[in-house]
Amino acid sequence: MHMTLMANMTWYEFNERKDKDVVILPVGSVEQHGPHLPLFTDTIISEGFANLLGDKVNGIVMPSINYGYKSQPASGGGPLFPGTIDLNGTTLINLVKDIIEELIRDGVRKIALVNSHFENQAFLLEAIDLVSKNMPANTKIIMMSWWDLITQNTIDKIFDEIEFPGWALEHAAITETSLILKFKPELVHMDKLIDEKIEEVPTYQVYPIPKDLVPKSGLLSIGRTSSAAKGELIVDEALSKMVEIVNKEFM
- Cite the active site residues: 31, 33, 42, 117, 119, 171, 176
Per CB under 8 A, the segment of 48-56, 157-165, 205-213, 221-229 that binds a copy of itself is 205-213
> Residues 91, 156, 195, 229: which binds a copy of itself (CB under 8 A)?
91
Q: CA triplet 75, 35, 228: central angle to 5 degrees?
A: 80
The answer to whether the beta carbons of residues 192 and 36 sit under 8 Å apart is yes
CB of 118 to a copy of itself, least distance (A): 10
When the beta carbons of 12 and 212 are compared against a copy of itself, the nearer one is: 12
Residues 6 or more apart whose Cβ sits within 8 Å of residue 117: 27, 28, 29, 31, 42, 46, 68, 69, 76
In this structure, the number of other CB atoms found within 10 A of the CB of residue 114 comes to 28
- Between CA 40 and CA 30 the distance in angstroms is 5
Per CB under 8 A, the segment of 48-56, 154-162, 187-195, 224-232 that binds a copy of itself is 187-195
Per CB under 8 A, the segment of 8-16, 51-59, 155-163, 220-228 that binds a copy of itself is 8-16
195 binds a copy of itself (CB under 8 A): no
Which DSSP helix (H) or strand (E) runs through 53? helix 41-57
- Between CA 151 and CA 24 the distance in angstroms is 23
- Between CA 214 and CA 34 the distance in angstroms is 11
125 binds a copy of itself (CB under 8 A): yes
64 binds a copy of itself (CB under 8 A): yes
136 binds a copy of itself (CB under 8 A): no
240 binds a copy of itself (CB under 8 A): no
Q: CA triplet 108, 103, 57: central angle to 5 degrees?
A: 50
- Rg of the chain (C-alpha set): 18
> Residues 58, 94, 154, 225: which binds a copy of itself (CB under 8 A)?
94
33 binds a copy of itself (CB under 8 A): yes
84 binds a copy of itself (CB under 8 A): yes
194 binds a copy of itself (CB under 8 A): no
106 binds a copy of itself (CB under 8 A): yes
Binding-site size for a copy of itself (CB under 8 A) equals 86
The answer to whether the beta carbons of residues 221 and 170 sit under 8 Å apart is yes
